[in-house]
Amino acid sequence: MGRPRKSAAQKRLEGTFRHCREPIAEPEYEIAVPRKPPTGLNKWARKFWNEYYPMLTGSGVLTEADIPTFVEMCKAWGASHQAEYDIMHNDDGSKRTLVEYRQQRHYSRNQMPEMLERREADDKFIKLAIYFGMTPSSRNKIDLGKKNDSVDPMEAMLTGADIKAVK
């Protein structure tokens, strides 16, 4: 199985791209365009979409092909927050403590269904967030850098460009 493969675009951002090791025709996708959150997201998932979608498209990380994965990440975020809300609030919306929840439902810590839902949603969210560079360790691998419009003098000499224009 091994590690999941990285796209050429991601390797370019990280500075590890080598032309000789890449497939000849890897598909490249357009950067995602601004859009509203899809229907079916709960309030926490919509809030996450509205906050992070512009950030990821602005940095060039999110492409049109990544939208379904990003939607799943938003759903995982929303499911985690919904489970947390269900744990900390009674059916009528009043707040309660974790101890009160366990006593009301007669659950031991390992049997609480909302805790299991939250744990699964958190795990799914973290796995998907890594692919978008939304964790410190995965973000550290991406180097957007500043675009340098100047031409290297040696490269200009080899390609026959006007050296005076370079300076």
Burial class (CB in 10 A: 0-12, 13-18, 19+), 107: middle
Amino acid in the structure at residue 59: S
Whether 83 contacts 115, CB under 8 Å: yes
d(CA 59, CA 144): 8
The arithmetic mean of pLDDT across residues 29-50, rounded, is 92
Whether residue 44 is contained in a domain is answered as yes
pLDDT band at 81 (very low <50, low <70, confident <90, very high): very high
Q: What is the pLDDT of residues 116-142, one digit of tens each?
A: 899 999 999 999 888 887 876 676 666
Amino acid at 17: F
**Does 2 fall in a domain?**
no
pLDDT at residue number 68: 93
pLDDT band at 152 (very low <50, low <70, confident <90, very high): low
Worst-scoring range by mean pLDDT, 1-10, 105-114, 146-155? Answer: 146-155
Residue 121: domain span = 8-166
Residue 71 lies in a domain: yes
Domain count, the chain: 1
- pTM of the model as a whole: 0.68
